[in-house]
């Protein structure tokens, strides 16, 4: 479901409805033509009326006021604003289960603010990098981490429309970051990630390897002229790679591999291990149109592995099961999908994904953890990196635009982006990077 739909849980950011940020702040407590038109707009959707009442109640309680008129006194009275800010921090601390004194709660809320800023900067620095000047945040909003001050900016006519929208956006993103932090503390994800690394180093990788020891090799690949899918791939040592000068439709890709041992056979494997950072989880909540990380974020811990052949993939899967048993834990595989076998289509519920994507994907439950595994062969991983309509950078662009997240965070009327045109240009931008 698009976050731009009438049933979006992020209605407060939509710029085509009753919650849109206007050019000037208008006082809803005073009768005017503008107020009458706004009420008429609100009455068109019963859900919006309910959301407005809920938002108003939450806002008044958070600021400690009884009406919109009283908000003006908080804007002009710095001492009163400071008192309400301290009260608000205690409310947030209790809501998100933050233990500690006021300074410790403030420090945690500042982290939420930094995560909110990082969400925007991560988009600006990657999938919207050519449009960085279009979407750059207002300095005053970036340096403001106090949620009360951000809310007051929304009602302060001295601030431009863009700044008032960004204050609202930052508060929403901070709220999502707080929910994610609470979920991580409840599920003890930091310790689980450390335990996962201990499991891999102690039971999975070859025992004669030092922790972090990697063997660099190059994948020399040729690609199809129509869609840049991988036709063939060979593994070269760094010395062999120095003798290769890739021509058009060829790639030389560095990978640094570990290994695991099955019987007397040492099998090389390229591995990428990750704990999804808070800003990535915030973006996933937005894409899924969900505020509950317990529902939307099921891949906090993940491992992507690349092996030379499909037989090595099967050996690795069996090796994982035996390794878990050696670590005194049963390993159960859940939600298995396997499109590594030729002619098998990939069926994903994720917006923007291609049915041409080939991979093995499953969740492994072991040692009190649930870890997402994505397994590739060299050829399917190179397609995941480079193939047209499959490459991960293209997928990132499609899912962020097609779910409506880019338009939600950077509405056209404020940031002057033609979203469809920008989407297509960014896909071509990444294709040019890949094929150059």
Q: What is the pLDDT of residues 75-124, one digit of tens each?
A: 999 999 999 999 999 999 999 999 999 999 999 999 999 999 999 999 99
Q: Angle, to 10 degrees, between the axis of helix 161-187 and the axis of helix 102-125?
A: 110
C-alpha span between 312 and 306 (Å, rounded): 9
Sign of CA dihedral 307, 312, 314, 316: negative
316 touches 328 (CB < 8 A): no
Distance of CA 362 to CAs 133, 201, 332, 338, 342, Å?
Answer: 40, 21, 10, 9, 18
- The answer to whether 427 and 354 are in contact (CB under 8 A) is no
Under DSSP, is residue 218 helix (H, G, I), strand (E, B) or coil?
A: strand
184-to-94, 169, 189, 285, 287 alpha-carbon distances in Å: 16, 23, 5, 14, 19
> What pLDDT is attached to residue 20?
83
Residues 298 and 369 sit within 8 Å (Cβ to Cβ): no
Residues of the chain with pLDDT under 50: 343
Outline where DSSP puts E strands in 214-316: 215-223, 230-236, 250-262, 265-275, 301-307
CB atoms within 10 A of CB 30: 10
Direct distance between the N- and C-terminal alpha carbons of the chain, in angstroms, rounded to an integer: 36
pLDDT digits (tens, 9 = 90+) for 207-220: 988 999 999 999 99
Distance CA 301, CA 373 (A): 9
Count CB-CB contacts under 10 A for residue 213: 12
Tell me, what's the pLDDT at 28?
55
- Model-level pTM? 0.91
Rounded distance between C-alpha atoms, residue 386 and residue 129, angstroms:
19
């Amino acid at each position: 479901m698009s976050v731009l739909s009438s049933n979006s849980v992020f209605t407060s950011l939509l710029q085509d409805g009753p919650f849109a940020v206007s050019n000037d702040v208008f006082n809803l407590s005073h009768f005017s033509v503008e107020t009458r038109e706004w009420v008429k707009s609100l009455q068109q959707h019963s859900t919006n009326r309910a959301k407005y009442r809920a938002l108003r109640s939450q806002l008044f309680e958070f600021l400690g006021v009884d009406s919109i008129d009283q908000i003006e006194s908080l804007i002009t009275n710095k001492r009163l604003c400071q008192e309400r800010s301290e009260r608000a921090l205690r409310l947030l601390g209790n809501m998100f289960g933050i233990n500690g004194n006021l300074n410790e709660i403030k420090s945690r809320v500042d982290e939420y603010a930094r995560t909110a800023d990082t969400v925007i900067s991560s988009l600006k620095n990657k999938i919207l990098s050519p449009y960085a000047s279009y979407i750059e945040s207002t300095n005053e909003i970036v340096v403001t981490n106090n949620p009360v001050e951000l809310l007051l900016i929304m009602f302060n006519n001295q601030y431009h429309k863009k700044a008032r929208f960004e204050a609202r956006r930052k508060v929403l993103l901070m709220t999502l970051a707080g929910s994610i932090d609470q979920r991580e503390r409840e599920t003890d994800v930091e310790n689980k990630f450390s335990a996962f690394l201990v499991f891999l180093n102690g039971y999975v990788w070859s025992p004669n390897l030092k922790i972090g020891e990697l063997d660099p090799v190059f994948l020399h690949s040729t690609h199809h002229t129509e869609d840049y899918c991988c036709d063939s791939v060979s593994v070269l040592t760094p010395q062999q790679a120095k003798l290769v000068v890739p021509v058009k439709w060829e790639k030389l890709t560095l990978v640094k591999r570990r290994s695991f041992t099955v019987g007397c056979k040492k099998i090389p494997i390229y591995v990428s291990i990750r704990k999804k950072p808070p800003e990535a989880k915030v973006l996933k909540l937005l894409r899924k149109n969900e505020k509950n990380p317990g529902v939307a974020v099921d891949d906090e811990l993940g491992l992507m592995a690349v092996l030379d052949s499909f037989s090595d993939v099967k050996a690795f899967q069996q090796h994982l099961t035996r390794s878990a048993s050696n670590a005194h834990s049963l390993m159960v595989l859940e939600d298995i999908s396997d499109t590594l076998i030729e002619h098998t289509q990939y069926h994903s519920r994720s917006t923007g994904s291609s049915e041409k994507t080939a991979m093995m994907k499953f969740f492994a439950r072991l040692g009190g953890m649930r870890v997402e595994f994505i397994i590739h062969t060299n050829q399917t991983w190179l397609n995941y990196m480079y193939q047209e309509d499959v490459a991960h950078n293209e997928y990132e662009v499609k899912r962020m635009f097609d779910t409506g997240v880019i338009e939600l965070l950077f509405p056209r009327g404020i940031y002057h982006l033609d979203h469809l045109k920008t989407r297509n240009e960014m896909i071509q931008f990444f294709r040019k990077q890949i094929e150059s």
